[in-house]
Amino acid sequence: MKFCTQCGSKIDDDSNFCINCGHEIITRTKKSNAEPYKNNIYIVLISILFVLSICFTVWHFGLLQNDTKQSIKDDASSSSNKVYTKEDLPDKKKFSMKNVQEKADNLSKTIFGSDQEVENLNNISKPLSKSLKDIDIAKNYNYNQENCTDQFTDVAQHIGHSIQTEIVKVTKISEQEENNIGRNLAKMMEEQTFKGKIDKNKTWLAYVKKVGNKLVENVNRKGINYNFHVIDNDLINAFALPGGNIYICKGILKKINNEAQLAGILAHEIKHVDLRHCIAIFQIIGRLPGAAQNPMSYQLAQLLRHPYNSRTEAEADRRGLDLIYLVKYSPYQVVKFWENMDYGNKANNNNTGGIFSEILGNIVEEVENLLLTHPKYPKRICLLKNHIVKLQEKYPCDRFYVGNWNYNNKTSMFDLSK
């Protein structure tokens, strides 16, 4: 049985790379030893989280009950004739763990800094050409700042992600080394994982390269050799390899409606490379004596990284928005893309099960937040909207390009504006 070193997916074929994320697959020769080991770690982590969640939630309701009693007692001493209604009871949001979570979040930001601020966009382009008519007007979108990270595990993810960022800085390898690793991985991808399916459609390939190469002009690490590929596969997926190889599947191209959305997907993957997300495990493992030869090292590294993978994805989302904002692609279309992807995931969140149901729901949400590799759609959309608001505050702009015609005709905005 083979396992992906990046996402942990089981692979039953003879591929050396994962079809879900494109990363190296490690063969385990001793399944009876390795598999139970991994499963036991997951069970222990989930059990600890479960117990902690119960303790915190019980404490939360105890606080609420005490505060409610004290409030009524204080009011009674000052106004003995007052008739109490439901509205007179303290708002449980004031006393729930929300306050505690906010304090913990503020403390983590004080120590590690916020990872949700807008970076300096030094190369922001001139206003759109007046000849471009397919545009979004910013004032038509009334986005407001919301609190998207209101769970305790969000604080833990922030801390874990911040620590990894510092580790990656001190273990970094040269861009040439990364390019070499990337070439080897891309060769195996072409010859084995997606043999005969990469870059077959030259029209799509030329179009994707045109948009991608324009975005790459504004990356921070100029020594990475970026290459774009189209995979003739119905997977709704796009992924990046170390060294700048970006792959986009035909399945996700069918979900995209315009050039701005295509740019948003490509920019997300570009930033995974630019921020060293793709090379991180290779760097860290490579600095540990003997670790590179031990397949379990990759599994352990991925296990430790997994709880804040969604934080990494959210970072790539934000920095990807920065990239398309620089060249005036509409960030609002990226939000629309994920809103369309969310159409089958909307659920009724009305809580009618009482206190026990609420406790159980809190526990499930906290644990689920750690296990997911990507933010849930509503959270992802919320974070994107927040970042757009911040971008507009710092770099006001009213007109952004959409590109419906461009996408259908595979002709980039840059060709039209010449």
Encode pLDDT of 332-369 as tens digits.
Answer: 999 999 999 876 555 444 555 555 555 566 666 666 66
- Tell me how far apart the alpha carbons of residues 333 and 197 are, in angstroms, rounded to a whole number: 29
Mean pLDDT of the 299-323 span = 77
Mean pLDDT score, 289-293: 53
pLDDT of residue 112: 75
Residue 271 has pLDDT above 60, yes or no: yes
Max Cα distance, the chain (Å): 83
How far, rounded to the nearest angstrom, does the alpha carbon of residue 78 sit from its chain's CA centroid?
Answer: 52
pLDDT digits (tens, 9 = 90+) for 22-80: 555 544 334 444 444 444 454 445 455 444 544 544 444 444 444 444 544 555 554 44
> For the chain, how many helices (H) and strands (E)?
16, 8
Could you give the CA distance from residue 244 to residue 177 in angstroms, rounded to a whole number?
12
Q: Where are the domains of the chain?
A: 135-416
Return the pLDDT at 164.
Answer: 82
pLDDT at 284: 76
Say how far apart CA 224 and CA 242 lie, in whole Å: 9
Whether 322 shows a pLDDT value over 70: the answer reads: yes
What's the rounded Cα separation, in Å, for the pair 59 and 221?
48
Q: What is the pLDDT of residue 72?
A: 45
Q: Which residue would you say has higher pLDDT here, 9 or 164?
A: 164
Say if residue 100's pLDDT is above 60.
yes
Helix (H, G, I), strand (E, B) or coil at 251: helix
**For the packed helices 97-112 and 31-78, what is the interaxial angle rounded to 10 degrees?**
120
Give the span between the Cα atoms of 181 and 187, in whole angstroms.
Answer: 10
Query: Mean pLDDT for the chain?
Result: 76
How far does CA 48 lie from the centroid of its chain? 25
pLDDT band at 99 (very low <50, low <70, confident <90, very high): confident
pLDDT band of 4, cuts 50, 70, 90: low
Mean pLDDT of 302-325: 81
Q: Who's near 358: CB < 8 A, 6+ residues apart?
A: 351
What DSSP state is assigned to residue 409?
A: H
pLDDT at 162 over 90: no
pTM of this structure: 0.73
Residue 291 has pLDDT above 80, yes or no: no
Range 275-288 average pLDDT: 81
| Cα angle 210-141-262, degrees, rounded to a multiple of 5 | 20
8 A C-beta contact, residue 15 and residue 25: yes
Of 40 and 406, the structure prediction assigns the larger pLDDT to 406
Angle at 3 between CA 46 and CA 171, to 5 degrees: 80
pLDDT at position 344 is: 52
**What does the alpha-carbon distance between residue 206 and residue 208 come to, in Å, rounded to a whole number?**
6
Q: Which has more confidence, 400 or 57?
A: 400
Separation of alpha carbons 25 and 18, rounded Å: 6
